[in-house]
Chains A and B, each alone.
Chain A
Amino acid sequence: MDIVLQQLVNGLTLGSVYGLIAIGYTMVYGIIGMINFAHGDVYMVSAYLTAIAIALLTFFGVQSFPFILIGTLIFTIIVTGAYGWVIERVAYRPLRNSSRLSVLISAIGMSLILQNYVQLSQGPNQQGVPTLLSGAIRFHVGDGFVQITYMKILILLIAFAGMGVLTYIIQKTKLGRMCRATQQDRKMASILGIDTDKVISSVFVIGSSMAALAGVLVTLDYGSFDFYIGFIMGIKAFTAAVLGGIGSLPGAMLGGIILGLSESLFAGLISSDYKDVFSFSLLVLILIIRPSGLLGKPAVEKV
């Protein structure tokens, strides 16, 4: 019982992180209909940026955790956003009118570039950050206990705050309106005077910022990372996006949480070696049973 509860808590935090990254996939897919394979690696870059920010801040004598957290968040989000912008500008914009296959291959190329570039710049070894926030709340359940670290609570709070801000941007602001219009019909939007290239760029920036948020939170919690983490995380987040219905923002968040919960339960109760196999099988299963996901609209093929 305590294991189940503990895994549910872990799964919820993991799931909110998946959700944050899935947003990047789902928004990009919604607006230009491509899978941004480099997105997982953008998350990986943000993990490095987090460690760099923390190292810089401590070097300049910042000690208090809130300042470090805020400084790291701002730094990482800005730089990762720049990565998103540059990736779109360099690897995808020149291919706007090319075949889907070309764009996908270009995306894979970008993913390889990011991985190898980080590996060459920062070395192939695992890196880490010091534990900045420790302590936990414990609940006694039966014979055992369930432990919720403060860090996990922080993850949940920030992740949901991030999702809230994003929802506000998409639903209420002018930029959000332009995004939604471009998603519906890019050609029409551009006829109506929306600079769709700019909108697409800003979608990449927003998606990357969300991945950066996830990167900061996971790095602070987990401590260590290497240049390869983006790969598996990318597949998982994509699974979350498909599970929720690709193209749908609330779907990405919901899909992330469902995936996180079920994966944690699987890891805790059955086998942690095969938890990645489980997530992947889930992806194939969703694609067979309900390719439009939980909240997605079934796609009508244009003939």
Chain B
Amino acid sequence: MSQENILTVENLVMHFGGIKALNDVTFNIKRGSVSALIGPNGAGKTTVFNCLTGFYKATGGHIMLSANSKDTSVIKVLGEPFKVTDFISPVAFYQRLKYKMFGGSHLVNRAGLSRTFQNIRLFKEMSVVENLLVAQHMRANRNLLAGIFNTSSYKRSEDEALERAFYWLGVVDLTEFANRLAGELSYGQQRRLEIARAMCTNPEIICLDEPAAGLNPSETEALTKMIRVLRDQHNTTVLLIEHDMGMVMDISDYIVVLDHGEVIAKGNPDDIKNNPKVIAAYLGAEEGEEVTL
């Protein structure tokens, strides 16, 4: 298990039919950092996210998640096709079959990675607290009999879940809306609730897909603060896709720039700001031309 890097992406390739969405993407995310994935529209940022979080099964390459004190191969837990060697080794066969039958993106979350979505995906007809309680499903006491007979251990587990839910509501400043329907919240509140919900799964790394999209400047500032709180107080690594360059340059320790499905630059904000390739990709200028961000 790698101590330094929480996420290692090597030679990631993703094809949709004949379209090559990602071509040989390689980068590492350091533990405890705030990293950003940027690039022009259609560069493949969300595709990278969906591969990392297990919603797309990458066509090729490796994604290694080192969290919850173990290494998890994201592609493997989604269930790969059988190989000839599987039929010789029963252990490999069993593993493959297990992941084929019970594998999926939920295992990526259980391995310590959680995410939010570009177009918010809340449980709109459930209350705000319930949204957070669902996120704690894996930690709850799921014993049917305990729940039906309302045993003390079940009660304790439910109380803890509720306590944690209210803690996170406090962090994202939504305590007063606890018993409202999630769908009734304003856009900015829904974004914050989604982050709180992702944090309720107790991840070591959280992937935010355009968290500042549609927020006004003061909300964006609050979000920036919140991301710092996640990193500093909860030891959570943050990976985000964002178009708001001001915010990205402000909070990121490390930036990966994608264009046309390829990594064209990586480094700290200052490097990226002055990288001619990046400037060219954003402004469509010829390479070598002098443009400043």
Question: Which secondary structure dominates where chain A touches chain B?
Answer: loop
| A-side contacts of B117, CB under 8 Å | 303
Q: In which size bucket is the chain A interface?
A: under 10
Q: In the bound complex, do residue B55 and residue A297 qualify as a contact, i.e. CB atoms below 8 Å apart? A: no
Q: In which size bucket is the chain B interface?
A: under 10
Chain B residue nearest in CB terms to A298? B17
In whole angstroms, what is the CA distance A279 to B50 when docked?
A: 37
Within 8 A of B (CB), among A244-303: 297, 300-301, 303
Binary CB contact string for chain B from 45 to 78 against chain A (1 if under 8 A, 0 otherwise): 0100010000110000000000000000000000
Instruction: Indicate if B149 sits at the interface (CB-CB under 8 A).
Output: no
Q: In the bound complex, do residue B50 and residue A303 qualify as a contact, i.e. CB atoms below 8 Å apart? A: yes
Q: In the bound complex, do residue A303 and residue B55 qualify as a contact, i.e. CB atoms below 8 Å apart? A: yes
| B-side contacts of A303, CB under 8 Å | 46, 50, 55-56, 117
A261 to chain B, nearest CB (A): 29
Chain A residue nearest in CB terms to B46? A303
| B-side contacts of A301, CB under 8 Å | 55
Chain B residue nearest in CB terms to A297? B17
| A-side contacts of B56, CB under 8 Å | 300, 303
A99 to chain B, nearest CB (A): 10
A231 to chain B, nearest CB (A): 33
Binary CB contact string for chain B from 219 to 259 against chain A (1 if under 8 A, 0 otherwise): 00000000000000000000000000000000000000000
Chain B residue nearest in CB terms to A301? B55
Chain A residue nearest in CB terms to B117? A303
| A-side contacts of B46, CB under 8 Å | 303
In whole angstroms, what is the CA distance A301 to B46 when docked?
A: 13
B153 to chain A, nearest CB (A): 36
In whole angstroms, what is the CA distance A300 to B50 when docked?
A: 11
Within 8 A of B (CB), among A168-197: none
In whole angstroms, what is the CA distance A297 to B17 when docked?
A: 8
Chain B residue nearest in CB terms to A302? B119
In whole angstroms, what is the CA distance A41 to B199 when docked?
A: 50
In whole angstroms, what is the CA distance A303 to B54 when docked?
A: 11
| A-side contacts of B17, CB under 8 Å | 297
| A-side contacts of B16, CB under 8 Å | 300
In whole angstroms, what is the CA distance A279 to B56 when docked?
A: 32
In whole angstroms, what is the CA distance A301 to B17 when docked?
A: 14
In whole angstroms, what is the CA distance A154 to B50 when docked?
A: 52
Interface residues of B, Cβ cutoff 8 Å to A = 16-17, 46, 50, 55-56, 117
Interface residues of A, Cβ cutoff 8 Å to B = 297, 300-301, 303
**9 interchain pairs, CB-CB under 8 A:** A297-B17, A300-B16, A300-B56, A301-B55, A303-B46, A303-B50, A303-B55, A303-B56, A303-B117
Given A303-B56, A303-B117, 7 new contacts (CB under 8 A) = A297-B17, A300-B16, A300-B56, A301-B55, A303-B46, A303-B50, A303-B55
Sort A-B residue pairs by CB-CB distance and give the 9 closest, nearest first.
Answer: A303-B55, A303-B50, A300-B16, A297-B17, A303-B117, A301-B55, A300-B56, A303-B46, A303-B56
